Structure 1
Amino acid sequence: MEFTQEPIPEIRSERSIGMHGPETPFRHWKVMRDYIAGILHRNHYQDLISYNTTVEHVEKTGDEWKVVLRKEGKKQDYWWSETFDAVVVASGHYWVPYIPAVEGLEQFEKTRPGSVVHSKHFRGRDSFHGKRVVVVGASVSAADIAVDLVDTAKSPIHCVTIGHTTNVFFGDTAFDHPKIQQHPSIAKVVNRTVHFIDGTSVADVDHIIFGTGYSWTLPFLPSLPVRNNRVPGLYQHIVWQKDPTLLFVGAVGAGLTFKIFEWQAVYAARILAGRATVPSQEEMQRWEDERIQTHGDGPKFSVVFPDFEDYFEAVRELAGEGEPGVGRKLPKFRREWFRNFIEGTELRKGLWRRWNAKAKADLEKDGVKARL
């Protein structure tokens, strides 16, 4: 989902073409990296950015925001503070791995350093050649990892999926592979044996890989509470109700990256430029209360799918047209964006189905040969 005025390059890898055909919508991560870098570097925008700088603390003092910054040096770190009229938090919420508490897991890792891995740190199948692996998680990261390991790690790949909610887009198609065995939650880990809540177990486990998502945290903003893996008090996932000089971009899930960031950024920029207004405190609180009623007070609060059009149009209306010739104009939501999104997920599921069918056919063929 590209930005409206910056198309993603039509550069397709041979691997992606081989999997999804010549019109594959997927791009290699390097293409996406260069795409984002190209946007930042045009018109010398990079000169306005301080790289390799950590935001350590943010607090409101009077009418200004005091920001404490740190830059790492070879011999010492450099700390300083600056003041700003406003702060936009665009740090995302997919950077602190969540690993559930499991009895015996810490000891398992201590005795075998590197044996516990989160999907954030997964770098391919090579490290798991011939290893017995348990993958925890029922969403897309766990699915991708499990499928990636079926012909490398010891068979079967043991996946903890039973009783867990699958990804709303992809379902459990990937786990229907003949070299994947599904299990319920882990009860405990004893030495190298993983025990499940149904009384079954897997012995001689080499690695446990967690594809269990992320914890939303704002360590640099201690005055802002994080509750139930979301930030309370954000109107339209953008404006902090208590102080509209604190805004968020990207505080959503399943929202058509990167396009949704563009809509949010335009509204935030227009607020700060005085070209868009913020509703009353009562109206903003009413929006949050109503969303809690329909989506709950947890992670699903921030999920935009499947209401893309409603959300995009609401933000576009709030942002307004802007002054003539100033800023970018947000177009009306086009339903083909939603169709393209769905078609992309179906391509992925179709690939998994083909791989599953081929693997089952190969196993049946091998079984016939063995009987002969």
Structure 2
Amino acid sequence: MPSPSLRLAVVGAGAAGLVAARELRREGHSPVVMGFLDFPFAAAEAAGGDTRRFPGHEEVLRYLEAFARRFDLYGLVRFETEVVRVRRDGGGGRWAVTSRKLGEKGRREEEEVYDAIVVCNGHYTEPRVAHIPGVETWPGKQMHSHNYRVPEPFHDQVVIIIGASASAVDISRDLAGVAKEVHVADRSAPACTCKRQPGYDNMWLHSMIDHAQEDGCVVFQDGSSIKANVIMHCTGAITVDDNCVDPLYKHLFPPEVAPHLSFIGLPWKDVLKHAPACFFQVIPFPLFELQSKWVAGVLSGRVKLPSREEMMEDVKAFHSKMEARGWPKRYAHNFSDYQFEYDDWLAEQCGHPPIEQWRKLMYAAISENKAARPESYRDEWDDYHLVAEAAEDFKKYL
């Protein structure tokens, strides 16, 4: 029997928060919100914008605004509202949420009670910075990729980039056009690593930084050193016990309080060292949408969860499999090469069609294209037949 309408707090109003609000309301709930499968980017093109396959951030914002208008979500969002804390409200499964309005004098806090919490606050906001011995007295500038915008301020400077995933790859190539030298420090590289990057006269790959010195030099694990102006941390966001939120059933529900607390959008994907063609991250918007459909269906009673004990057994089995593969804890939510398997599992749980085959093939084609054309993959591609298939599929939503 379906559950009565619940009053829900959605923490976050980005891509995950917006689609969570839509799916929760579709199931009859009343959410308050502090590229999706059925709303293609093409739906936002009528206003005239960046129609490239890899649009700029302004176009992504326009897309999210169009999505919010199309599904009448603005009325659910409390803008400029910060969630200060969330706690259990007694033993009845309800939650007390304390928030405050930003910009108000005194910033008075307000507490409200909700039936469930859906956390959609993202994991790219609070930067994570690598520990470097001696950096306190090093005279150069440190920054995080979260704050990087354009390469011009780094003209003729020596920049050290820490990291080897998507942001490090993109920013290092961006900077190589203006910086005097770019040095990439990769913690997974052997200690003896020090080599020039193919296709560049001014970019090198190193092992991790060993320490920094007062004279401006940065020393790598192989003993080589560089006098640098900037250290840029492309090291991701702040962690929860080494980037792992645990225990979570299927990366979503803590078994002890399920389904009244859930986390949308935790999975991510690293650049795989053993499979160079897999060069892209998790495709986020369809993932958010399918997770939200599942959460909304469970909260309405239409979709059933296993028992608490069964969910905990599943979590233990997952961690045992990680240990057997030799994966560190920080890779708990790293989907490596099984994101579509997870997406299709979610779709099956909530009675939604699986991810379209053209999406899966296009993902593989783009990954291979980026590996083959790292400088021009955004503007050159060979999968025109998949683009045509996607355009035909999108017609039913336009």
Q: Indicate the TM-score class for this superposition, using the shorter chain for normalisation.
A: 0.7 to 0.9
4+ runs deviating over 3 angstroms: 162-165, 172-176
Over 3 Å counting, the alpha-carbon distance change for 1:215 and 1:164 in structure 2 is farther
Partner residue of 1:122 out of 148, 153, 159: 148
CA distance in 2, matches of 1:294, 1:178: 43
Q: Which amino acid aligns with 1:29?
A: H
Q: Does 1:26 align with 2:40?
A: no
Aligned to 1:5: 38
SS in 2 for 1:336: helix
Contact 2:348–2:354 under 8 Å retained in 1: no
Aligned to 1:247: 262
SS in 1 for 2:284: coil
How much has 1:174 moved relative to structure 2? Answer: 7.2
Q: Does 1:53 align with 2:81?
A: yes
CA distance in 2, matches of 1:316, 1:160: 40
Q: Which amino acid aligns with 2:291?
A: Q
Listed one character per residue, the Cα deviations across residues 293-312 of structure 1 (whole Å, up to 9, x for unaligned) are: 22346232212231133212
Q: Does 1:231 align with 2:245?
A: yes
Contact 1:98–1:212 under 8 Å retained in 2: yes
CA distance in 1, matches of 2:198, 2:125: 25
Listed one character per residue, the Cα deviations across residues 155-211 of structure 1 (whole Å, up to 9, x for unaligned) are: x3111137449xxxxxx99776332112211111112111112111112x1111111
Q: Which amino acid aligns with 1:59?
A: R
SS in 2 for 1:37: helix
Over 3 Å counting, the alpha-carbon distance change for 1:90 and 1:258 in structure 2 is same
Aligned to 2:370: 348
CA distance in 2, matches of 1:174, 1:33: 34
**Aligned pairs for 1:151-300 within 5 A:** 151-154=177-180, 156-161=181-186, 163-164=188-189, 177-191=200-214, 192-203=216-227, 205-216=228-239, 226-244=240-258, 245-254=260-269, 255-295=282-322, 296=327, 298-300=329-331
Query: Percent of counterpart pairs with the same letter?
Result: 26
Aligned to 1:307: 338
SS in 2 for 1:289: helix
CA distance in 1, matches of 2:104, 2:289: 37
Contact 1:143–1:174 under 8 Å retained in 2: no
CA distance in 2, matches of 1:175, 1:134: 17
Listed one character per residue, the Cα deviations across residues 45-91 of structure 1 (whole Å, up to 9, x for unaligned) are: 20111011111100111221000001122532121111000000011
Q: TM-score, length-normalised on structure 1?
A: 0.78
SS in 1 for 2:306: coil
**Aligned pairs for 1:122-141 within 5 A:** 122-141=148-167
CA distance in 1, matches of 2:318, 2:212: 39
Aligned to 1:222: none
Query: Please, which runs of 5 or more residues in structure 2 have no aligned partner?
Result: 1-14, 16-34, 270-281, 378-398
Partner residue of 2:353 out of 310, 322, 331: 331
How much has 1:118 moved relative to structure 2? Answer: 0.7
Contact 1:55–1:70 under 8 Å retained in 2: yes
How much has 1:227 moved relative to structure 2? Answer: 2.6
Contact 2:37–2:286 under 8 Å retained in 1: yes
Q: Does 1:41 align with 2:65?
A: no
| Alignment RMSD | 2.6
Listed one character per residue, the Cα deviations across residues 312-367 of structure 1 (whole Å, up to 9, x for unaligned) are: 23222322x3xxxxxxxx21233322221122223333332679xxxxxxxxxxxx
Contact 1:68–1:81 under 8 Å retained in 2: yes
Over 3 Å counting, the alpha-carbon distance change for 1:120 and 1:144 in structure 2 is same
Q: Which amino acid aligns with 1:55?
A: V
Aligned to 2:5: none
Partner residue of 2:115 out of 72, 81, 85: 85
**Aligned pairs for 1:88-103 within 5 A:** 88-103=118-133
Contact 1:137–1:164 under 8 Å retained in 2: no
Contact 2:197–2:205 under 8 Å retained in 1: no
Contact 1:175–1:182 under 8 Å retained in 2: no
How much has 1:248 moved relative to structure 2? Answer: 1.2
SS in 1 for 2:178: coil
Over 3 Å counting, the alpha-carbon distance change for 1:40 and 1:97 in structure 2 is same
How much has 1:37 moved relative to structure 2? Answer: 1.4
Over 3 Å counting, the alpha-carbon distance change for 1:57 and 1:261 in structure 2 is same
How much has 1:263 moved relative to structure 2? Answer: 0.5
- Matched positions, count: 316
CA distance in 2, matches of 1:353, 1:116: 26
Contact 1:137–1:161 under 8 Å retained in 2: yes
How much has 1:278 moved relative to structure 2? Answer: 1.1
